[in-house]
């Protein structure tokens, strides 16, 4: 399940300080004043968010993604984003008590990201990325997801071509996403630079692929195309994607309007 959406709220959450809105232009929905009432200031907080482990062993994606790659990508890069984020939050506790989703949206600050955004979004993206893959992945999407892909891209083959093209034309570091767009009520492919996570535009992510060179350099060197092909043919978890789409359908009606009979 798309667990990124359901990060447990830290249990020792404090009252969000009132000057929060002077630092961030916070959407109404995210105001959480007195969610937990006034808690006494407890002892020094040392960690705000924890490092989530991938839902498989580090060698489970071999030979398509090596253990060495995951060891470093998760154990160094991902860990550094978490540690960097916690260190930043330690200095300034006005952001304390947010779910990771909220933190990403709030620190994006309508396109003028605050310093915490980069780490927060990278944590989100990497959590989501590990869950976007599975051992023995890369089969066909099933049922509703397949139908939706065919509806929005013409065919599954077409989707794969579009996704690959997006990955190969991303300039520099970043991510390629399959997202569900709320307004348009359709699936779309989105490219983002560096840390940007499409939840900041209110899209519902279905799949993401890390296109920073660190994600594939040890296994594929400069051959990004081979990495993308391997992801689509052997790694992507359409199960996770189906769960995420199902979750998204709670907010986006993808069917014909159902008008109850009188």
Partner 1 sequence: MAVRTLLTRKTLSSFLRNDPKPIGTAAISAAASTQSRDLHVYTLPDLAYDYGALEPVISGEIMQLHHQKHHQTYVTNYNKALEQLHDTVGKADASATVKLQSAIKFNGGGHINHSIFWKNLAPVREGGGEPPKEALGWAIDDHFGSLEALIQKVNAEGAALQGSGWVWLSLDKDSKRLTVETTANQDPLVTKGPFLVPLLGIDVWEHAYYLQYKNVRPDYLKNIWKVINWKYASEVYEKEAYLVNQEDRP
Judged by the rule CB under 8 A, the positions of this chain that interact with partner 1 are: 72, 76-77, 80, 118, 171-174, 193-195, 212-214, 217-218, 221-222
CB of 39 to Fe ion, least distance (A): 35
189 and 178 Cβ atoms separated by less than 8 Å? yes
DSSP string, 136-184: T--S---HHHHHHHHHHHSSHHHHHHHHHHHHHT--SSEEEEEEEETTT
CB 110: neighbour CB atoms within 10 A? 12
Tell me which residue of 190, 194, 208 sits closest to 108, measured CA to CA: 194
Rounded Cα distance between 182 and 201, Å, is 10
Q: Residue 156's binding partner, choosing from Fe ion, partner 1, none, with beta-carbon cut-off 5 to 8 A by kind?
A: none
Q: Residue 76's binding partner, choosing from Fe ion, partner 1, none, with beta-carbon cut-off 5 to 8 A by kind?
A: partner 1
Tell me which residue of 80, 55, 41, 46 sits closest to 3, measured CA to CA: 55
Q: Residue 210's binding partner, choosing from partner 1, Fe ion, none, with beta-carbon cut-off 5 to 8 A by kind?
A: Fe ion
Q: Residue 80's binding partner, choosing from Fe ion, partner 1, none, with beta-carbon cut-off 5 to 8 A by kind?
A: partner 1
* Cβ closest to partner 1, residue 32 vs residue 79: 79
CB of 113 to partner 1, least distance (A): 10
Q: Which residues within the stretch 198-217 sit at the binding site for Fe ion (CB under 5 A)? A: 210, 212, 215
* Cβ closest to Fe ion, residue 96 vs residue 163: 163
């Amino acid at each position: 399940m798309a667990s990124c959406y359901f990060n447990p709220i830290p249990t020792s959450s404090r009252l969000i300080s009132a000057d929060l809105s002077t630092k961030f232009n916070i959407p109404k929905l995210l105001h959480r004043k007195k969610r937990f009432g006034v808690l006494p200031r407890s002892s020094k907080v040392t960690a705000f968010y924890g490092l989530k482990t991938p839902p498989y062993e580090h060698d489970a994606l071999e030979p398509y993604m090596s253990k060495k790659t995951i060891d470093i990508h998760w154990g160094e890069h991902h860990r550094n984003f978490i540690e960097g984020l916690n260190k930043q939050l330690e200095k300034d506790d006005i952001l304390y008590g947010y779910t990771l989703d909220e933190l990403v949206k709030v620190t994006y600050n309508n396109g003028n990201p605050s310093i915490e955004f980069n780490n927060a979004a990278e944590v989100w993206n990497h959590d989501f990325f590990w869950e976007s893959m599975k051992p023995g992945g890369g089969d066909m999407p099933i049922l509703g997801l397949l139908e939706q892909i065919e509806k929005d891209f013409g065919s599954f083959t077409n989707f794969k071509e579009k996704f690959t093209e997006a990955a190969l034309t991303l300039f520099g570091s970043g991510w390629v996403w399959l997202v569900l767009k709320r307004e348009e009520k359709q699936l779309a492919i989105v490219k983002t630079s560096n840390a940007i996570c499409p939840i900041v535009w209110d899209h519902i992510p279905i799949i993401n692929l890390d296109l920073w060179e660190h994600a594939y350099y040890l296994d594929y060197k400069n051959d990004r195309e081979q990495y993308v092909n391997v992801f689509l043919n052997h790694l992507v978890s359409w199960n996770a994607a189906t769960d995420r789409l199902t979750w998204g359908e709670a907010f986006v009606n993808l069917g014909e309007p159902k008008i109850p009979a009188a």
